[in-house]
Amino acid sequence: MASANALPQTGPVRFWDRLNISTKRVIWAWAFLAVPIIFYAGIRFYPTFQAFWLSLTNWDLLRPAQFIGFANYQKMFADPVFWKVFQNTFLYLIIGTPVSLVVSFVIAYYLDRVKLMHGFIRALYFLPFLTTAAAMGWVWRWFYQPVPIGVINGFLSSFGIPQQPFLRSVDQALFSILIPAIWAGLGFQIIIFMAGLRAIPNTFYEAAKIDGLGDWAILRKITIPLLKPTTVFLVVFSSIGFLRIFDQVYNMTSNDPGGPLNSTKPLVLMIYQTAFSSYQMGYAAAQTVVLFTILLIVSLLQLYVLREKK
């Protein structure tokens, strides 16, 4: 900021005065952008290229990085743990995204029409979005404990339903983590859907009513089609969120992150462990390149879908 202010004044005053207005403005613009350009170049672009480069090396923090070609990628694609993790990541995605979208749409659709205590009810749905996964991970782990501690098992046993292992089971753990992950993001999606619903001009609804359409027909023929940009945005936003899931998994399985038996481990957790538990930086960088590629495909699909039907 100091540099932005000082730049025009440090030069000889006459020189500055002789410049025409538009030249002055160009100089101002670059002065404003100087620090940000250094930031984006040094902290976004350079590290991106470095990650690609590191993925082709055997760097392990101790010895200097050596170029080893695609060996990391070969190792990864031959590793059954990677494929297990890949499968888990897509399970989070293909269950998490549709479930959270349908639930948040239904809630937004009805909440939008509610006048009585609207703000209060909306707040109830939104509050979980403001929590941190580290704190909520503990609450949910406590919920999933066996009796006499666990709230959910206590609730089930009062109906005579047998104890469930939840986080301790290879079959249930992933779903037990998915529920808090959906829970935490629901409020955001509801608010966005409501904003989208409000943005639909009333004239459409009035015209539909005159044509004698019922609520169900209006929903199908007007609301859902006109809500498409919002829906596409949320599909992508939520997909990227589930593909990058980490906090919830790490904090609910912290005795054995990603366990039991890798049954809950997503890609980002594998990256974290490869890099910062076993210090195979080169190998971890290769995994980040895979994540980058998947996210890029999802983003490009969004652009494609929006362009196609508009």
Partner 1 sequence: MTMASTKELAANSRDIRPGRIITWTLLLIGGLIMITPLLFMFSTSLKTSGQVYDLRLIPAAPTLDNYIKVLGDGRFMQWFFNSTLIAVTVTISNVFFDSLVGYTLAKFEFRGRYFIFLAILSTLMIPTEMLVIPWYLMSSQLGWLNSYWGIMFPGMMTAFGTFLMKQFFEGVPNDFLEAARVDGLNEFTIWWKIAMPMVVPAISALAIFTFLGNWTAFFWPLIVTTSKELYTLPVGISSFSAEASIQWELIMTGAAIGTIPTLLVFLLLQRYIVRGVMLAGLKG
Side-chain half-sphere of 241: how many Cα atoms within 13 Å?
A: 22
Q: Do 262 and 84 touch, CB atoms closer than 8 A?
A: yes
50 belongs to the binding site for partner 1 (CB under 8 A): yes
Provide, rounded to whole angstroms, the least separation between the CB of residue 47 and partner 1.
Answer: 3
Q: Which two tokens stand for residue 155?
A: 């609730």
DSSP string computed for 75-118: HHHT-HHHHHHHHHHHHHHHHHHHHHHHHHHHHHHHHTT--TTH
> Strand, coil or helix: what is 135?
helix
33 belongs to the binding site for partner 1 (CB under 8 A): yes
Using the contact rule CB under 8 A, the part of the chain among 78-86, 89-97, 159-167, 243-251 near partner 1 is 243-251
The 10 Å CB-count burial string (b at 16+, else e) for 266-288 is bbbbbbbbbbeeeebbbbbbbbb
CA distance 306 to 303: 5
Site for partner 1 in 259-278 (CB under 8 A): 268, 271-272, 275-276
Looking at 80, 148, 160, 201, which residue binds partner 1 (CB under 8 A)? 148
Provide, rounded to whole angstroms, the least separation between the CB of residue 34 and partner 1.
Answer: 10
Using the contact rule CB under 8 A, the part of the chain among 70-78, 93-101, 170-178, 244-252 near partner 1 is 244-252
215 belongs to the binding site for partner 1 (CB under 8 A): yes
Looking at 85, 93, 181, 186, which residue binds partner 1 (CB under 8 A)? 186
Local structure of residue 130 (DSSP, 8 states):
G
149 belongs to the binding site for partner 1 (CB under 8 A): yes
Tell me whether the omega of the peptide bond preceding residue 148 falls within 30 degrees of 0, making it cis.
yes
Beta-carbon contacts of 212 under 8 Å, excluding residues fewer than 6 positions away, are none
Whichever of 17 and 171 has its CB closer to partner 1, that residue is 17
Count of chain residues binding partner 1 (CB under 8 A)? 99
247 belongs to the binding site for partner 1 (CB under 8 A): yes
Site for partner 1 in 56-115 (CB under 8 A): 106-107, 110-111, 113-114
Whichever of 36 and 171 has its CB closer to partner 1, that residue is 36
Whichever of 85 and 194 has its CB closer to partner 1, that residue is 194
Provide, rounded to whole angstroms, the least separation between the CB of residue 254 and partner 1.
Answer: 4
Looking at 185, 196, 241, 258, which residue binds partner 1 (CB under 8 A)? 196
Binding mask 108-147 for partner 1 (x = CB under 8 A): --xx-xx-xx-x-xxxxxxxx-xxxxxxxxxxx-xx----
Beta-carbon contacts of 283 under 8 Å, excluding residues fewer than 6 positions away, are 72, 75, 76, 274
Read off the amino acid at residue 148. Answer: P
> Strand, coil or helix: what is 220?
helix
Provide, rounded to whole angstroms, the least separation between the CB of residue 297 and partner 1.
Answer: 11
Site for partner 1 in 162-181 (CB under 8 A): 180
39 belongs to the binding site for partner 1 (CB under 8 A): yes
